[in-house]
Amino acid sequence: MYLPRGLIAQLYQNLIKRNHAAAPPVLLLVALEPDALCACRILTALLKRDYIPHKIQPIAGYGDLYRAAEDLIRPMRTSEGGSGGVVVCLGVGGMVDLEEIFGMDVDENGHGGTGDVEVWVVDARRPWNLSNVFGTPIGEDLVSGELARKRAGVDKGRLLQSYQSTKGGIIVFDDGDIEEELEAEREAYCALEEMPEVGEDADVEDEDSADEEEPPESGQAPKKRKSWGDDDESGEDMSDDERPRQRRRSNSGGSIPSSPERRPRRGLMILGGSSDFSRSDSRSRSASPAIAAPMEKSVKSLRKQLMVMRQKYTKVLDKYYQLGTSYSEPVSSLVYSLASELGREDNDLLWNAIVGVSSLELYGRTGSGVGLNPLSAAGGSAGWNGDRGERIRSVLRDEVRRLNPSDSRDLAREASMGDSTGAIPTSARSATDKSIRLSPEPRFLLLRHWSLYESMLHSPYLSARLHIWSDAGRRRLDKLLAKMGVSLTQCKQNYTHMDMELKRGLRERLLKFAPVYGLDGLVPPPPRNGDMKDGWGFVRCWGWKACLSAIDAGVILGAILEVGDAKSLSHSSLDSSNFVGAQSQAQDADPTNSTSAGEDAQEHIIARFWTAYDALASIDILTTHISTAQYLHKAILRTGTTLIEKKQIRHLRAFRMAVVKEGPDVQLFTHPGALTKLALWIAEAIVELNGTKGRNRGSELVMAGLDESRGRYVVVGLGGGGATESTRERIAKREARQKARDAKKAAKAAEMEKKRQARLARLEAAGLDDDEVEDETEDEDSDEDEESDEEEEKERGQGRNRFGNAFQEVVRETGARVRMDSFEACVIEIRKEDLSGFLERLSMKAVVG
With beta carbons less than 8 A apart as the criterion, state whether 32 and 59 touch.
Answer: yes
**Size of the chain in residues:** 849
Query: Which position has the higher pLDDT, 766 or 168?
Result: 168
Measured CA to CA, the distance from residue 577 to residue 675 in angstroms comes to 17
* pLDDT at residue 259 in the model: 55
Tell me the C-alpha distance between 522 and 376, whole Å: 10
**Confidence band (pLDDT; 50, 70, 90) for 584?**
very low
Q: What is the mean pLDDT of the chain?
A: 79
Cα–Cα dist 822/61, whole Å: 5
Environment class of 200 (CB within 10 Å of its CB; exposed 0-12, middle 13-18, buried 19+): middle
Taking a C-beta distance cutoff of 8 angstroms, is the pair 421, 525 a contact? Answer: no
- Residue 241's pLDDT is 40
Residue 225 has pLDDT above 70, yes or no: no
In this structure, which amino acid lies at residue 777?
A: T
- For residue 769, what pLDDT is reported? 57
CA distances from 102 to 76, 86, 89, 117, 785 (A): 11, 13, 12, 10, 40
In the predicted model, is pLDDT for residue 165 greater than 50? yes
Parallel, antiparallel, or unpaired: how do β-strands 2-3 and 117-122 relate?
Answer: unpaired
Mean pLDDT of 454-460: 92
- Cα 709 vs. chain centroid, distance in angstroms? 31
Residues 261-265, mean pLDDT to the nearest whole number: 44
Query: Residue 537 in contact with residue 397, Cβ under 8 Å?
Result: no
Cα of 159 vs its chain's centroid, Å: 23
Contacts of 821 (CB under 8 A, 6+ apart): 60, 61, 62, 63, 264, 268, 581, 582, 584, 585, 829
Q: Phi/psi at 129 (nearest 5 deg)?
A: -80, 115
Residue 758 or residue 313, greater confidence? 313
Better-predicted residue by pLDDT, 228 or 418: 418
β-sheet bridge partners, residue 87: 27, 119
HEC string of 165-187 equals: CCCCEEEEECCCHHHHHCHHHHH
Q: What would the pLDDT profile of 345-369 be if each residue is shown by its tens digit?
A: 999 999 999 999 999 989 988 888 8
For residue 419, pLDDT beyond 80 = no
pLDDT of residue 753: 83
Tens of pLDDT along 693-702?
Answer: 444 456 789 9
Q: Which residues pair with 848 in a beta bridge?
A: 801
pLDDT band at residue 589 using 50, 70 and 90 as cut-offs: very low
Decide which of 641 and 152 is more confident. Answer: 641
Q: HSE, CB side, 13 Å, CA atoms: give it for residue 8.
A: 18
Average pLDDT over residues 480-507: 89
| pLDDT at position 765 | 76
What's the confidence (pLDDT) of residue 233?
36
Beta bridge partners of 539: 437, 549
Look at 326-330, 677-681, 789-793 and tell me which has the smallest mean pLDDT. 789-793
Arithmetic mean of pLDDT, 395-415: 79
pLDDT digits (tens, 9 = 90+) for 508-564: 888 889 888 888 878 887 765 555 677 788 999 999 999 999 999 999 999 999 998
Q: pLDDT grade, residue 119 (50/70/90)? A: very high
pLDDT at 28: 97
> What's residue 244's pLDDT?
38
Give the integer Cα–Cα distance in Å for 335 and 164.
21
Q: Identify the weakest region by mean pLDDT among 44-58, 642-656, 713-727.
A: 713-727
| Burial class of 217 by CB neighbour count within 10 A (0 to 12, 13 to 18, 19+) | exposed
More confident residue, 460 or 598: 460
pLDDT at residue 617 tops 90: yes
Residue 577 has pLDDT above 70, yes or no: no
CA angle, residues 202, 205, 209, in degrees to nearest 5: 105
Contact 221, 288 (CB under 8 A): yes
pLDDT at 146: 60
Is the per-residue pLDDT at 173 higher than 90? yes
**pLDDT for the residue 64:** 93
Least confident range of 97-101, 483-487, 712-716, 745-749: 745-749
Bond prior to 524 in cis (omega within 30° of 0):
no
**pLDDT for position 582:** 39
Q: What radius of gyration do the chain's Cα atoms show?
A: 29
Q: What local confidence, expressed as pLDDT, does residue 102 receive?
A: 93
Listed in order, strand segments (DSSP E) in 36-138 are 54-59, 85-90, 117-122, 125-126
- Note the pLDDT tens digit of each residue in 55-84: 999 999 999 999 999 999 999 998 888 899
* CB-CB contact of 73 with 25 (8 Å): no
pLDDT of residue 208: 45
